Amino acid sequence: MGTRHLWQETRLGDVVQIKHGWPFKSECFCQWSPGVPVVVNIGNFQYTGGFRFETTQLKGYSGEYPSDYQLAPGDILLVMTCQTPGGEILGIPGRIPNDGIKYLHNQRMGKVVVTRPDLIDLDYLYWVFLWQEFNQELVASSSGTKIVHTAPTRIEAFRFIRPSLNEQHAIARILRALHDKLALNRRMNRTLEAIAQALFHSWFIDFGPVTARREGRKPIGMDDATAALFPAHFQETDMGPIPAGWKAGSTIDIARYVNGKNFTKNASGTGRMVIRIAELNSGPAVSTIYNDVNANPENIAFPDDLLFSWSGSLDVYRWHRDAALVNQHIFKVVCEKYPQWFVHYHLQDAMTFFQGIAADKATTMGHIKREHLSQFDVALPPAELINAANRIIRPIYDRIHRNERQILSLAALRDTLLPQLLSGELRVGNAEKMIGKA
């Protein structure tokens, strides 16, 4: 016989209190530096849960404030305001890290204070707050139209089925293990990306090894055979000085750019996902469109393909999800002459230039034209140097893609397990077996 019948229906407000934040004075906000407290704001949250302090702007505070509003490591804050009418991030939790920084409890977010530690575990509650049922109830009871709000009393009114403390600990442990693996992969990819890009910029943008040889120095971090592939002087070209023996080119010379098609028109609701600009960063969303059209493979993005949105939010993306149709306003970048990492990082380097062109457009949605791809200069090295770099950068670049695919797989598993574990439909032992297989 299962233990589901032992779970107790519980009102959240009977086991926790949701505390309002403090209205910090805007005139005391300052640029953050070590030793300065950070005022947590909604922009610091990851919309899938947790904080992203390392990749978002930190808002420092130089004024006085009540000590009650200084947060402690492990404290959980909930988002209470969402700037979209769908309220997708209402109730999203973030947990204060133990990193030596002082964090302050800002308004428009609620701090979770456990009042019955004999009944509820804060680690378990973190996952309850990520439950879609929790978000949907907050949206249903929210106020506002374009910007929606919830309140402590509405959060405390949420009812859920509460397992025993031991079961809470076990469920939290399982979900935390998946979370930690996801976080590890993301940290690893940030490090790998930084290594690959630093090497690329040194060799192919800054021409560091050429400068070193010209000055009679040995290039740092490479053997003699690799160093010999770089010339010891520069040559003048229309694009300025580039390494001797290299060719002057542009982004149009390093790849082929296949424009997407209007696959959203007459979409059937089945088949492959249609990649619009909105899907490039976030992946499939509620409004995702599907089409079962029999498309040319050149209009399909397969895992690890490169995509370039040339309209709206101009950027270059590496597609890690399953095969999908490339919609209009997006180039599929076909890398035939040069390795994909070489094309990818050059396009990233060019993006500020392209964004500047798009910003000059008089239309509401800025864009570039194909002809603009020939206006950003690229120095083209000889094949033997590309091959040498490929032996170093390609394994790193491939590892990043494998990690991203695993992130997607683990995130899907977490999203499957979370509601089943919290509702009692899935036992802890079965969930552990599923994770082991994954």
Is the residue at 363 inside a domain? Answer: yes
Mean pLDDT to the nearest integer, 167-193: 94
- Quote the CA–CA distance of 278 and 291 in Å, as a whole number: 16
CA angle 49/53/57 to nearest 5° reads 120
Does 292 lie in the same domain as 276? yes
Domain co-membership, 190 together with 279: no
Residue with tokens 């802890």: 428
| pTM recorded for the entire structure | 0.85
347-376 pLDDT, tens digit per residue, is 999 999 999 998 876 555 688 999 999 999
Question: Which of 364, 380, 396 lies at the terminal end of a domain, its last residue?
Answer: 380
| pLDDT beyond 80 at 126 | yes
Query: Taking Cα atoms as reference points, which of 48, 13, 17, 25 lies closest to residue 107?
Result: 25
Contact 306, 343 (CB under 8 A): yes
If asked whether residues 153 and 172 sit together in one domain, one would say: no
Predicted local confidence at residue 136, as pLDDT: 95
Give 412-427 pLDDT, tens digit per residue.
999 999 999 999 888 8
394 located within any domain: yes
C-beta separation of 316 from 255 below 8 A:
no
> What's the mean per-residue pLDDT of the chain?
93
Residue 191 in domain: yes
Whether residues 72 and 154 fall in one domain: yes
Q: What is the CATH number of the domain that holds 106?
A: 3.90.220.20
Percentage of the residues of the chain whose pLDDT score is greater than 70: 97
Residue 4 placed within a domain: no
Q: State residue 286's pLDDT score.
A: 65
Mean pLDDT computed over 375-389: 97
DSSP 264-321: TTT--SSSEEEE-HHHHHH-S-TT--EE-----GGGEEPTT-EEEE-BSS-EEEE--S
Distance between CA atoms of residues 343 and 356, nearest Å: 20
Task: Assess whether pLDDT exceeds 70 at residue 265.
Answer: yes
Residue 229 lies in a domain: no
CB 327 within 8 A of CB 261: yes
> What confidence score (pLDDT) does residue 434 get?
78
pLDDT value of residue 1: 41
- Do 279 and 194 lie in one domain? The reply is no
Residue 237 lies in a domain: no
Residue 273 sits in which domain range?
251-380
Domain count of the fold of the chain: 3
Dump the DSSP string for 15-57: TEEEEP-B---GGGEEE--TTS-EE--GGGB-TTSSB-GGGS-
On whether both 204 and 168 belong to a single domain, the answer is yes
* 230 domain residue, yes or no: no
Q: Are residues 359 and 287 in the same domain?
A: yes
147 and 173 part of one domain: no
Give mean pLDDT, residues 197-225.
Answer: 95
Same domain for 320 and 333? yes
Using the predicted structure, report yes or no on whether residue 2 has a pLDDT greater than 60: no
Do both 372 and 397 map to the same domain?
A: no
Domain match, 183 and 100 both: no
**Residue 243 within a domain:** no
Return all residues near 106 (Cβ < 8 A) that are at least 6 apart: 21, 22, 24, 39, 40, 41
Residues 199 and 266 in one domain: no
pLDDT per residue as tens digits for the range 41-63: 999 999 889 999 988 999 999 99
In the listed set 335, 356, 380, which residue is the last one of a domain according to the structure? 380
CA distance 277 to 406: 23
d(CA 288, CA 374): 33
